[in-house]
Chain A
Amino acid sequence: MSSRSRRWQEVLLTTPSFLWLVVFFLVPTALVFILAFRPSDPFGGIGRGWTLGTIRALADPQYLAIAWRTLWVSFATTALCMLLALPTGYTLARASARRRQVLLMLIIVPFWTSFLIRVFAWKSILHPEGIIKKALVFLGAVDANASLLYNLGAVVLVTVYTFLPFAILPIYAAAEKFDYRLIEAARDLGARPFTAFRRVFIPGIRQGLVTAVLVVFIPALGSYVIPDIVGGPGSELLGNKIAQRVFVDRNLPLAGGLSIVLILAVLMPLLAVLALQRQGSRVAPRRGEERP
């Protein structure tokens, strides 16, 4: 094939998706940054001229508190997901081929089901008339007047439920490639099971752990439906505030300003991981070595 027709072929194959993503992804994202500096007009659209009013409005302590809460909830969700995903990913990796196939299927199927329905299912079982509340009251674990719904705990619980499969899969993928003779070697050298797990297994599946953290933490930051359905006024997150500015008082520039805060929050962990990996490739740490 001549290099000219090759070049032409590349352009032909690249153009459709490239153009589409520039028009419907890149430009709209840039627009969020631009429109945050425009005033809103009384009809819910975007006014003329430029203003710093939106940026000033963001300094409102109300928004600061919500940004902080969003970070905190995302951290808690990620930590819990990792705690549950580690043993599950390990079990998957160590199971026989047949059993692994079944387990993998069982983990994947729930997240093919509708996201809204899964959130709703939790709303109805945490409901005051729901089965969990009744069981807990019967066991004397909670007071009959306590509410399991409409608080931060419910938001974290349902967010963990939603994102857990996404954490299990990368950990399983990394744990499957791990050489388990290393653990046996550590045991032979006198390490206790937990020490071997912490000093040999965890560093060995680091890449999978990083992916798992990112795929839970990032969407958790943008969470909006879960706090909207199972949360209360005291558990609103950044996503809820963005939605309120759009659907309640139709202030698109302010919604844009809040979105910029969210974008920055999303970029932070991504950049942190990139920096860590760059550092990691420069000084490759030896397996199991304690890092400061």
Chain B
Amino acid sequence: MRRSRFPFIMTGLVLAFFYLPILILVVDSFNAARFGGAWRGFSLKWYGRLFHEPAIWEAARNTLVIALLVTFISLILGTTAALALHRFARSRLQRFHYTLVYTPLVVPEILMGISLLMAFVASGIELGMLTIILAHVSFCVSYVALVVLGRLQDFDYTIMEAAHDLGASGWTATRRVLLPMLAPGLAAAGLIAFTLSVDDFVITFFVAGPGATTLPIRVYSMIKHGATPLINALSTLLLALTFTTVFVSQRLSKSGALEGGQ
């Protein structure tokens, strides 16, 4: 039976739709013209200009510091959560725990932003780097927990029992058997937490306060104040970084790393 070509053509159009804006942005970053649209010759001047913008580099440094701390904390919280959810799956506490872990994933970002802002204002915590880190961990934990939980469901627990039978204590078995076998899952989860933290704008914008600026907040104010060619150049650098990270992580863990996103 002949299959219709229609779905295939639509897929092609969807992919064009996905990549066209990104492609145009990259091309425009090498355009000497002040506004995109007309090609005025190849130029690297916007990249050069980027290096004379200390505000961007400070924001980039903040973003990196925040993302590293957030990845570390949410890996710990998310992994313990996943272990609890997996090992005690049938207990009533875990059913509530699961709801608590799952719900932040379906709540629109703006609601999380406003509720955290209110909590920080009500408790008198000064807005800044600290509140950004607290907020980011709060949404990253859920992603980490679910990715690690997915890995645990494929884990064969008889191996742990074998380690116990061979005389390993609970902690030794965890450290020498469970954690190494979980490593690819942890790497994928950490990468997701890192990316989410680096990319987050909405929640960060609510809880940042005047003192702390991250890269997305910087990019946002550049968009608002119309520094178009500079954003093109910065975006191209960030895109290159993202594609490299995705490519490398694909290579490192042949499977599982990307599906974890859902």
Contact = CB atoms under 8 A, between A and B. Distances in A.
Contacts of B41: none
B216 A116 contact: yes
A256 interface: yes
B100 A115 contact: no
A206 interface: no
A219 B108 contact: yes
A168 to B, nearest CB: 8
A225 interface: yes
Given A114-B235, A131-B24, A246-B114, 7 more contacts: A14-B93, A17-B145, A24-B137, A88-B14, A112-B246, A120-B223, A129-B35
Given A124-B28, A125-B21, A105 B258 contact: yes
A129 B18 contact: no
Interface stretch (A90-98, A139-147, A282-290): A90-98
Given A91-B11, A114-B238, A222-B109, A121 B100 contact: no
9 contacts: A25-B104, A45-B121, A84-B14, A108-B258, A116-B223, A124-B25, A125-B20, A161-B21, A266-B111
A219 B109 contact: yes
Ordered nearest first, which 9 A-B pairs have the shortest CB separation?
A222-B108, A17-B81, A28-B115, A87-B7, A87-B10, A13-B84, A121-B21, A28-B119, A24-B138
Nearest to A266: B108
A221 B108 contact: yes
A118 B22 contact: yes
B80 A31 contact: no
Interface string A250-279: 001001100100110010001000000000
A120 B80 CA distance: 38
B141 A17 contact: yes
B10 A13 contact: no
A101 to B, nearest CB: 10
B135 A112 contact: no
B14 to A, nearest CB: 5
A32 B100 contact: no
Nearest to B37: A129
Contacts of A105: 250, 258
Contacts, number: 247
A121 B25 contact: yes
Contact of A21 (B38, B87, B104, B135): B104
Given A14-B94, A28-B119, A256-B114, A113 B22 contact: yes
Interface centre among A92, A225, A270, by most chain B C-beta atoms within 10 angstroms, is: A225
Given A25-B100, A91-B8, A114-B216, A122 B258 contact: no
Interface residues of A, number: 85
Interface in B211-253: 216, 219-220, 223, 228, 231-232, 235, 238-239, 242-243, 245-246, 250
Nearest to B116: A28
A103 interface: yes
Interface of B: 1, 3-4, 6-8, 10-11, 14-15, 17-22, 24-25, 28, 35-38, 76-78, 80-81, 83-84, 87-88, 91, 93-94, 97, 100-101, 103-104, 106-112, 114-119, 121-122, 134-135, 137-138, 141, 145, 195, 199, 201-202, 206, 216, 219-220, 223, 228, 231-232, 235, 238-239, 242-243, 245-246, 250, 258, 261-262
A157 B112 CA distance: 25
A190 interface: no
B135 A116 contact: no
B247 to A, nearest CB: 9
A191 B121 CA distance: 62
A208 B147 CA distance: 20
Contact of B243 (A24, A109, A259): A109
Contacts of A94: 3, 7
Contacts of A87: 6-8, 10-11
A232 interface: no
A263 B103 CA distance: 12
Given A10-B84, A90-B7, A113-B238, A121 B24 contact: yes
Nearest to B86: A13
A116 B201 contact: yes
A184 to B, nearest CB: 7
A121 B118 contact: no
B108 A32 contact: no
A21 B244 CA distance: 33
A242 interface: yes
B231 A120 contact: yes
B196 to A, nearest CB: 10
A168 B18 CA distance: 12
Contact of B1 (A32, A184, A224): A184
A274 B96 CA distance: 18
A285 to B, nearest CB: 25
